Amino acid sequence: MSSTVELTKENFDQTVTDNEFVLIDFWAEWCGPCRQFAPVYEKAAEANPDLVFAKVDTEAQPELAAAFEIQSIPTLMIVRDQVAIFAQPGALPAAALEDVIGQARKLDMDEVRKSVAAQQAAAKEQGTGAQQAEDTQ
């Protein structure tokens, strides 16, 4: 019995909204490294039953792969409190995956949200500045 959830465009938002901590493996059946990573991911799911481990088949769900700009598979993404806090292509060895999960667990999400808000404000400010510069020309 698999302990991972298959994500589709229909259940993606609900899964990420309803769960505080979601790991997502973007993969495809034809991908050799994806098949090598699958048992490592499955073992981590069994070792961390309090977390949601999900998979997105990029062939069956091209809209999700495009929405997250997945260029290479496998890609592991971690979403906490609806914020993507980690995304990295490549099959991770078991020890590296456990390390990433440990680091993600330790993150202070209040600090992450402050940082995201600051980045969004800076980007908006840059956009406004660029618009003002255009307007003056």
- What pLDDT sits at residue 75? 97
- Per-residue model confidence as pLDDT tens digits over 73-102: 999 999 999 999 999 999 999 999 999 999
Q: Is residue 133 predicted with pLDDT exceeding 60?
A: no
Residue 136 has a pLDDT of 53
Answer yes or no: are the C-beta atoms of 24 and 79 closer than 8 Å: yes
111-130, pLDDT tens digit by residue?
888 888 888 888 888 876 55
Q: What is the pLDDT of residue 109?
A: 87
The pLDDT of 34-54, averaged and rounded, is 95
Specify the amino acid at residue 64. L
Q: Which of 82, 85, 77 is nearest to 112 (CA)?
A: 85
Q: Examine the pLDDT at 28 and tell me if it is beyond 50.
A: yes
Residues belonging to the active site: 31, 34
Q: 1: pLDDT confidence band, cut at 50, 70 and 90? A: very low
**What is the phi/psi pair of residue 83, to 5°?**
-120, 125
List, for residues 2-27, the tens digit of each pLDDT value: 578 999 999 999 999 999 999 999 99
Give the separation between CA 6 and CA 24, rounded to whole angstroms: 9
User: Mean pLDDT throughout 36-61?
Assistant: 96
**Rounded Cα–Cα distance for residues 37 and 57 (Å):** 14
The proportion of the chain whose per-residue pLDDT surpasses 70, expressed as a percent, equals: 91
- In this structure, is the dihedral angle defined by the CA atoms of residues 3, 98, 117 and 122, taken in order, positive or negative? negative
Q: Are 23 and 101 in contact (CB under 8 A)?
A: yes
